[in-house]
Structure 1
Amino acid sequence: MIISIHLKMCGPPKRAASDRNGVEFMQSAERYCEIANAENSNCALTLNLNEMYRTCSFEQVVKVPEEMGKGYWKCIRTYSSIDLVICDVRFTKNMTLSSREGGNNINLGFCLGDSIRWSVEGRKGEFGLDPWEVSAFGSIQASNRCQYDVDSHFQGLSLKLNHMESIGPLHHLPLHKISSALSGNSRLFYNSQMTSGMKRIVHDIIHCYYHGDIKHIYLEGKILELIALYLYEVILEKNTSSPPLGLSRTEVASLHLAKDILDGDLMSPPGLEALAKRVCLNEFKLKKGFKLLFGMPVHAYVIDRRLEAAFHMLEEGRMKITEAAYAAGFGKTGHFSEQFKRKYGVNPSEYFRQFRR
């Protein structure tokens, strides 16, 4: 499954249009996406996809023609600056599609299913993503050719942010850090492993069951949450040139070791005193430094990681709620349900009933 987030930094909008619900959208002179079938210039699928990208309505669906396979692309335009595209397709024959986009972009791609490979015009070699990888890449003003192999299951989500100066919350995110990471990568792509938090947010986006204005609000929040989490867990945490205020580099290394120890034994993690001794810090420095570096106290971090573990056990459908709660380290199902609702907004039974529906 491929999830791409395109952060388009374009000029001022060219014109405005409204859909039947009265939602206003902007179009830019640079805002375009042209898709082509390498073997058929009159391909119905690519013609429909190009029309989908050009249209300003809130939500559209393009189905794969039966003679080509099965599945769909869905485009949701939440506001003038954000396009959300979800795809879930299988082809009955090998397909090669090319795409060319305008704008100055920063992109994130998440792979949750079958691997995918593509080539870039004017660049040597092949690029791609394997399962559970995330890749950052900058705007490439060239054609990309992607191979879709027969019977492979390609699921994906792309998020395109246009006119970023109009999206207030993005001003607070250090997006330039992604550019810095890319500038030192000769292959143009900055690949890393997805974290459990990213998987959970992606799941929430794909399985959103809200409608109308609530859907707008929910998806916008999840989009910003995913970008922020990627920046924090992949870019900032691993590429910080100086330690946080009040911590030495040695202390930062010890705190990362403490986090690794907790991650490795969520069922029975060491207490604060034992953990402090193992990482050569006093308890005060461990508690204060851990919250400063990772955004939450040690105990809260353990609870959060247990919730993530239980969530994915339940998502796989092989365990009941009680079994997943105990397997993740919760001593009582009631405590697990209480913490789950605090984090996800609903009880686990209600959440996964909606998910399976």
Structure 2
Amino acid sequence: MVFELSQSASDALWLETHQQFMPVTSADGLETISKIPPQLGKGYEREVALQPGVELHIFDSTYQDIAIHIPENQHPVQFMVYVSGVADSGDFIYQDANWGYVGGSGIQTPVRTFFPGAQHQVGVIVHVQPHLLAQLFGNSESKLQPTLDVLVPGDEQPQQVFSSPTTGAIRAVVRQIIDCPFSGVTKRLYLQGKVFELMALQLEGISTPVCQNRMLKPETMARVQQAAAILRSHLETPPCQTTLAQRVGVSDRTLRRGFKQLFGTTVLGYLTEQRLALAERLLRDTDLSVTEVVHCCGYSNPGHFAAAFKRRFGITPRQCALGVISAQS
């Protein structure tokens, strides 16, 4: 059963926990370490104020099945990367160890974020005030400028969000942030440098298609990313391509071109890859039968599923469930 919470109810639990278990300040005074409310799960969050306008949050927690309902709000620029775990915000965004998140400033629409139970959630969040983002990365000749214009649209404009692919370089930087070996001034300078490096890598990840093909505008890229998020959250019963295009406000042709440029495949190819990736995780990490996994991943024909799985991973679904390692995963 999913524990559904409003943002205000979640905040009240955090306040109650802070009163019962006072947050701990690190010896160098740079970090505040807070315990996760026991009603939600276990673990902690570390908050580091790197400089005015830039905040770093490091989380290491395991939740129950919970969903937080976040109301419309004015949002800063945000960068987020998961080393492990999942946060599923449905059509808004989906995050796991393969996909991070870059959110612009502006008005964030109401969103429900689901945290699956018994998943070890580890990662980092960076909040940046909009004017600092422009100071750090923006100028008229910067290849990042088109993306920055979308991320910082101006007062009272809707927020734009992007799924950012989590590369090996990004994972390495996140681990260095989490495992920072220094203290005091050296620690602050080290973390500042690593946070700016992480931001640059994520911005590069969502900006590359813009640089490669100016025909794909940043606004269009955001809509294609939204379409991808819809598919990931509806793998069992996805909308057809025409309906998907209508939901995100682009034409069929633009959607096809966008998927090709952003993901290097068709809409159907992307859906198939996401279904098979989910199938592999379920077969390896749960006790579901192959038949149950087939239905969870939206396949109606077990034979078609088995053939697609074998092509993708080089082993059969049953071999995967038995723990055989695929050389292609």
Query: TM-score, normalization: structure 1?
Result: 0.45
Query: TM-score, normalization: structure 2?
Result: 0.48
**Bigger radius of gyration, 1 or 2?**
1
